[in-house]
Amino acid sequence: MTERTRLLNIVEATLDEVLPRSGERPKALSDAMRYAVGSGGKRIRPIVCLASSMAVGGSADDARYPAAAIEMLHNYTLVHDDLPAMDNDIERRGKLTVWKKFGEANAILAGDALLSLAFSVALNAPRNVAAIMATLGVAGFGVVQGQVEDLERENGALPADAVDFVYAHKTADLFVAAAAMGGLAGGGSERDIEALRTFALNLGLAFQFEDDLLDGDSPFPREKTEALVRQKTDVALAALVRLPGDATLLREIANSLVGRMS
């Protein structure tokens, strides 16, 4: 079993533990929440959270509840993004979106419930709980800021001066929160957390620029976008040198973004 698979198993087991049981009353809510969180995805944010705990000298288990919390918050944003009032998407990851399967009202409420429950789950972190909760809250607010700014642009066309703001908040904020929460749960120092924030900010930006290449909708020419992916990845990797623990998996995740096919 690879290390990434081991961490993925921790994420899946913890999510299964903290989410409402399938069929739990009200059934529409519990089923919609499990459907939203269990509908695929690479779990890259919670894995970053677990790996960040290890990179400061902690264990993956130290960060399992913050990792589940960041994945729940991430999926809340996806549920709401897919709504007719937002992106009006009917499929995600090859399956019906939550609103299309359970109705708009239940999708809104399922997203609200995932966001609320994420904070209760994060409370189970073994240390630095207040800082972890604050980090989660800042990320949740930041994603909304990025989404509002994005919605104000017609047809998704972002002027150059808005790209940094939208990408930093709508995409990178959750990566930053994942890494910082993992480092805090693992007992990292202020210096360690700052290094993780630098890593994750640039990881998130590289992730978004690479998505632009895959989707063919970059606000920049392809050559510039490719250069931005490499530049942000290099900065992310450089930040890992300052960490006292094993940052191997974080390094692998950063390198895997360059030239990925999906």
Q: What is the pLDDT of residues 132-152, one digit of tens each?
A: 999 999 999 999 999 988 888
Q: Please check whether residue 58 lies inside any domain of the structure.
A: yes
Distances (CA, A) of 247 to 11, 17, 58: 18, 27, 11
Q: Please check whether residue 82 lies inside any domain of the structure.
A: yes
For the chain, how many structural domains are there in total?
Answer: 1
What are the pLDDT digits (tens) for 6-48?
A: 999 999 999 999 999 988 999 999 999 999 999 677 899 999 9
Is the per-residue pLDDT at 154 higher than 60?
no
Confidence of residue 176 (pLDDT cuts 50, 70, 90): very high
The span from the CA of 44 to the CA of 228, in Å, is 20
Is the per-residue pLDDT at 161 higher than 80?
no
3-state SS, residue 186: coil
R_g over Cα of the chain: 18
Nearest to 4 by CA among 255, 261, 258: 255
Q: Please check whether residue 262 lies inside any domain of the structure.
A: no
Q: Please check whether residue 14 lies inside any domain of the structure.
A: yes
Structural domain that includes position 101: 3-257
What pTM was computed for the model? 0.95
Question: CATH no. for residue 243?
Answer: 1.10.600.10
3-state SS, residue 152: coil
